[in-house]
């Protein structure tokens, strides 16, 4: 590998060439200034300005006072550097997002806002956001998500013993069964492999932040100003979490805190953490689910048997069943779901979330013994009948599933934080913001 001095000289030469060509091609037009060099790439001032404007708009929408343009620009630039490093690693790892996947994601976002894609596009434009810019941001987010899945998420495992220990801890009085904590977080980071003097310097900075907070400083403002954490630009707000969803090092403190109190500095490999308990709430009781006994007939389409053919065939079956034909016999004879077809189309008792959304929505709308209209899913066309409903207490299974997810999410966050710090400390980065 090239040493840092040689890499720096080579990049400087290349960047001078890029700047010269840009100036030559633009004539008297102002050149978009480079504000950071990140390995073999650059971050331009126009990129930084767009992101700063977005953050300021969000702060204003949330009625959060701005800590000042310089602080916002520094925080946003650091986030852009981290994103650039991840994109570069994704490129080297041949991680791509195809146009169809991107389109599907845009449609999903629009639907979550109860809008068509065209209406969503118009809504963005009304807010002064270019649709093309939003699409590229989404592509970037999906690429980074896939990168983290490959390097972090896929490596995280949760054992049955961890789940048992989590539940035992939650059942302790001090664990606060089903209690949720609203936590604010500030991280004063140290580089990977930090020296004793760097660690001491970070500790002193953290202690100064705590002193300022104890003198009445606003936690959200202080997080935006000083934090190196992922939620810095959101005022350090980690949102509402159960104890198991909070990083274990911090959870040990949170469980004993009173609302409004501050703890820190808490040392970890990432640096020094400062936390504030912003709120506390509890919930409890049993978890009851409604199970549905359902059966269906599935018809798959092909080049010779299209959607209209399938729909009409199922309408014919429905009419025949309403005239006393046997549903089970028709399913055994005609359903393309061979597994359930052998059982007369019977899918058994199913819990919420087991079946695909379109099927489940149609099923939930039916009364007992009622037949649906033909329902289309990614598997084909279905005729659905509900045979019964019952309520079941699945509190034990639910708690285990929730515990497993909480532990997994906590591990992912902890590993992601360490991974990003390592990625940043090992990279060549030259910040030119003050030049």
Residues of the chain with CATH 1.10.4030.10: 93-155
Whole-prediction pTM value?
A: 0.59
- In 3-state terms, what secondary structure has residue 80? helix
Are 281 and 179 within 8 A, CB to CB? yes
pLDDT score for 310: 94
Hey, which residues does 262 pair with through a beta bridge? 276
pLDDT score for 57: 84
Q: Which residues of the chain have pLDDT under 70?
A: 1-31, 170-178, 282-285, 434-435
Pairing type for strands 179-189 and 237-242 reads antiparallel
Instruction: Give the chain's radius of gyration (CA, Å).
Output: 28
Q: Which CATH architecture has domain 93-155?
A: Orthogonal Bundle (1.10)
Hey, which residues does 291 pair with through a beta bridge? 390
CATH class of 32-87+176-285+395-435: alpha beta
Residues of the chain with CATH 3.10.50.40: 32-87+176-285+395-435, 288-393
Q: Cα(330)–Cα(339) distance, rounded to whole angstroms?
A: 14
CATH class of 288-393: alpha beta
pLDDT score for 386: 96
Dump pLDDT digits (tens) for 225-265.
999 988 888 889 998 888 878 888 888 888 888 889 999 89
Q: Cα(194)–Cα(228) distance, rounded to whole angstroms?
A: 15
**Distances from the Cα of 213 to the Cα of 59, 220, 254, angstroms:** 20, 10, 18
């Amino acid at each position: 590998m090239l040493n840092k001095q040689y890499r720096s000289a080579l990049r400087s030469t290349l960047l001078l060439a890029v700047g010269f060509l840009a100036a030559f091609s633009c004539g008297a037009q102002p050149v978009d200034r480079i504000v950071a060099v990140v390995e073999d790439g650059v971050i331009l001032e126009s990129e930084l300005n767009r992101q700063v404007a977005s953050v300021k708009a969000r702060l204003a929408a949330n009625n959060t006072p701005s800590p000042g343009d310089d602080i916002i620009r520094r925080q946003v630039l650091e986030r852009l550097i981290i994103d650039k490093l991840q994109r570069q690693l994704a490129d080297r790892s041949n991680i791509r997002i195809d146009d169809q996947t991107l389109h599907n994601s845009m449609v999903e976002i629009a639907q979550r806002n109860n809008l068509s894609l065209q209406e969503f596009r118009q809504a963005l434009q009304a807010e002064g956001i270019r649709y093309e810019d939003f699409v590229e941001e989404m592509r970037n987010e999906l690429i980074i998500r896939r990168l983290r899945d490959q390097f972090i998420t896929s490596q995280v495992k949760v054992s049955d013993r961890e789940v048992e220990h989590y539940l035992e801890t939650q059942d302790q009085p001090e664990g606060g069964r089903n209690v949720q904590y609203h936590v604010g977080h500030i991280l004063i980071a140290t580089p990977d492999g930090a020296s004793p003097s760097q660690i001491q310097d970070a500790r002193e900075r953290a202690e100064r932040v705590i002193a300022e907070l104890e003198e009445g400083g606003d936690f959200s403002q202080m997080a935006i100003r000083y934090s190196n954490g992922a939620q810095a630009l959101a005022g350090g707000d980690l949102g509402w979490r159960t104890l198991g969803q909070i990083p274990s090092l911090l959870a040990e403190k949170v469980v004993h805190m009173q609302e409004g109190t501050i703890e820190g500095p808490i040392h970890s490999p990432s640096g020094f953490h400062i936390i504030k308990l912003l709120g506390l709430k509890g919930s409890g009781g049993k978890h009851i689910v409604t199970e549905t006994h359902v059966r269906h007939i599935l018809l798959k389409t092909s080049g010779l048997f299209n959607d209209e053919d399938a729909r009409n065939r199922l309408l014919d079956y429905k009419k025949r069943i309403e005239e006393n034909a046997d549903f089970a016999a028709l399913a055994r004879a005609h359903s393309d779901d061979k597994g359930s077809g052998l059982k007369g189309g019977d899918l058994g008792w199913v819990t919420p979330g087991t079946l695909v959304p379109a099927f489940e929505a149609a099923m939930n709308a039916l009364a007992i013994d009622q037949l649906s209209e033909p329902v289309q899913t990614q598997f084909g066309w279905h005729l659905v009948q509900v045979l019964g409903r019952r309520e079941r207490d699945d509190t034990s299974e639910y708690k285990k599933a929730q515990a497993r997810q909480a532990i997994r999410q906590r591990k992912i966050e902890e590993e992601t934080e360490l991974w990003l710090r390592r990625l940043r400390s090992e990279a060549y980065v030259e910040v030119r913001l003050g030049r």
